[in-house]
Copies of this chain bind each other. A is one copy, B any other.
Amino acid sequence: MRIFFVLLVLLPLASIAQPSVKASRDWVKKEGPNILSEFRDLLSIPNHASDLPNIKRNAEKIKKMFADRGFDMRLLEEPGAPPIVYGERKVKGAKRTLCFYAHYDGQPVDPALWKLDAFKPELYDKAMYDGGKPIPMPKAGEPINEEWRMYGRSASDDKAPIIAMAAALDALKTSNIGLTSNVKFFFDGEEESSSPHIDAYLTKYGDLFKDITVWLLVDGAVYQTGDPSFKFGGRGVTSMQLKVYGPSRPLHSGHYGNWAPVPGQMLSHLLASMTDKDGNVLIDGYYDSVEPISDFERDQVKNAPNIDDQMKEELGLARTEGTGTLNERMLLPSLTIRGLASGSVEDKAANIIPSYAIAELSMRLVKGNDPEKMMDLVEEHVKKEGWHIVRDEPDHATRMKYPRIVKITRTKNGFPATKVKMDQPEIMSVINGVKSFTGDRAVFLPSSGGSNRVNDAIFNILKTPAVSVNMVNHDNNQHAENENVRIGNLWYGVDLMSVMMTLPSDIQKK
């Protein structure tokens, strides 16, 4: 597979004149090997949310890391759930409270796919796909190349931010630079399992979160060009399964082929009716509830560097769906066939007429789209195409009555898009502060293409602004095997956390 690596050019960014950035860089230069060592220790603890003993080891370690750095730390608990590692430091006279969010759990690991033990992190001299080889950890005083990468589960997603926050606190302390906001930490332990207890946590411990001015969700990758990026919401998400029925048992494709309905063919007609060949959704009303984009948001999207050619080259695509750039397309709901199955393929293919065919649909939603109503629209379309919808396996009478039967299973885990008004004072204060560091290179987007239940919960329960702050490289294999973080991005994260912890105090506490 050809991979097109775009040189990450995060550093040097704008004004190193800022004392907090100077502090960060001095610290990294001096203490880099120790930072990587602490990072490796944290990555060594397995962290799938279902592995509660190890999850608790992670939580205790993180609690101690920040307690050692002068924070009041505690574990918030819900029965059977990974704890939230919560911490705070009040700053005398601060008019603003920033809550730094990250998650310490990771995606499941399939060891067969990894080149190393996912929980025995290793340093590489460059990206594996670029021919990188493992190298020893640097000793005190040894220089560190920014193209090095740390490999291991959650190296990028999402333990790098936790290390960056800790290092930023050390750097600022060493240079005697005080925080300018009250700072809270909220480290989630089940984000990769869709944070099923997030509502319960935010409700039960609501008092701890009342005074937060802005949540900084430090998760996700910087812009594909390598430029810093910030996102002010996420798309919603929901999913449906469509199962269509042929004969009640698989049939010999000779004895019944050309007579018994073929479920794969029926499903193809149904799916093809939902989009045109360019990928535009043809379901009535699918785009109708999309809330208008503000001029401010539209400008931000317009100002973001166009990465379409780069990504098409990287992904081997001669065309993309619909019209518009990748960033523009993220402002519309999607309808993706994430799975298809009927009978068997490749060396298991048998000469049968399968008895059913399944399509798994994933729908990403934007502001204005209600998950239930969007699924209703799909169902109305399905009915208009002549299908009878059932919720359970059809019985014989149903089979004999309706020529086209589809069982539709709607997920119960969908949630709507979140979009924080970008130009409100609390947010502008953060943007302006960050811009003093990044200059004009920073990309501010109204929404991530992805979805995050935490974002939704903060928005709905706490009604507090949140912004997604990205620091890791985009080619980090997040969720997949051989996850990694580029060291230059880790260092950028230390700078960024330092800057955000020392933003000018230009707004009133709400």
Could you tell me which A residues sit within 8 Å of B by CB distance? 1-2, 234-235, 237, 239, 241, 245-249, 251-262, 264-269, 271-275, 277, 279, 312-322, 326, 329-330, 332-346, 348-354, 357-360, 362, 364, 386, 394, 396, 399-403, 448-451, 479
CB pair B315–A260 under 8 Å, yes or no, is yes
Q: Which residues of B contact A237 (CB under 8 A)?
A: 254, 351
CB pair A254–B318 under 8 Å, yes or no, is no
CB pair B332–A338 under 8 Å, yes or no, is no
The number of times this chain is found in the oligomer is 2
Q: Which of A318, A319, A386, A400 has the most CB atoms of chain B within a 10 A radius of its CB?
A: A318
Q: How far is the CA of A193 from the CA of B204 in the complex (A)?
A: 65
Q: Which of A239, A254, A279 has the most CB atoms of chain B within a 10 A radius of its CB?
A: A254
14 further interface pairs, Cβ-Cβ under 8 Å (given A262-B321, A272-B272): A252-B479, A253-B336, A253-B362, A254-B364, A256-B326, A258-B322, A259-B322, A316-B394, A316-B396, A318-B401, A319-B403, A340-B341, A341-B344, A346-B358
Q: How far is the CA of A320 from the CA of B399 in the complex (A)?
A: 12
Q: How far is the CA of A312 from the CA of B254 in the complex (A)?
A: 17
Q: How far is the CA of A254 from the CA of B332 in the complex (A)?
A: 11
CB pair B268–A318 under 8 Å, yes or no, is no
CB pair B316–A399 under 8 Å, yes or no, is yes
Q: How far is the CA of A351 from the CA of B448 in the complex (A)?
A: 15
Q: Which residues of B contact A312 (CB under 8 A)?
A: 400
For the complex of A and B, the 8 pairs showing the least CB-CB separation, nearest first, are A254-B450, A264-B337, A258-B334, A316-B399, A257-B334, A272-B272, A319-B403, A268-B271
Q: Which residues of B contact A399 (CB under 8 A)?
A: 316-318
| 14 A/B residue pairs, CB under 8 Å, sorted by A | A234-B254, A245-B316, A247-B315, A252-B449, A258-B321, A258-B329, A268-B269, A316-B400, A337-B342, A338-B344, A339-B348, A340-B341, A340-B357, A341-B341
Take A342-B340, A353-B338 as given contacts and tell me if A364 and B258 are in contact as well, using a CB distance cutoff of 8 Å: yes
